[in-house]
Amino acid sequence: MATKIRLARGGAKKRPFYRIVIADVRSPRDGRFLEIVGRYNPMLPKGDEKRVELNEDRIKHWLDNGAQPTDRVHRFLDAAGLLKREPRNNPTKAQLGKKAQERLDEKLAKEAEAKAAAEEAAAAEASE
């Protein structure tokens, strides 16, 4: 059976609370799970020690048995020192989309034309 270490959402509307669970990959997000191995409360401040609580012994056991963590849980395990997570690189993240780039090019062309026209007018006035 393929298992994942993932988050199961609980809590009220606009007040999320997550359990870190071991679940079959085919079961729904908030559905059936095998074991609860931790908690995550995103409403607490980042420095609070109760924001992420992990049962490290059980997590090690499940990792040894082939459970794969989701990306968010992998970040928690990396912060706890249980796993190593390589940083991701997206070199195109800061680049504009096609339409936004076209609009920017048009705007720059108009500004260059206006600047050239202003320089010509200033040169014509200076020569008189």
Domain boundaries, the chain: 3-80, 94-128
Segment 99-124 shows an average pLDDT of 91
What average pLDDT does the structure give for the chain? 91
pLDDT at 128: 66
Task: Report the share of the chain in percent with pLDDT over 70.
Answer: 99
pLDDT at 127: 74
Tens of pLDDT, residue by residue over 33-92, are 999 999 999 999 988 999 999 999 999 999 999 999 999 999 999 999 998 888 888 888
Task: Supply the CATH classification number for the domain 3-80.
Answer: 3.30.1320.10
pLDDT at 8: 95
pLDDT at 89: 86
CB 8 within 8 A of CB 29: yes
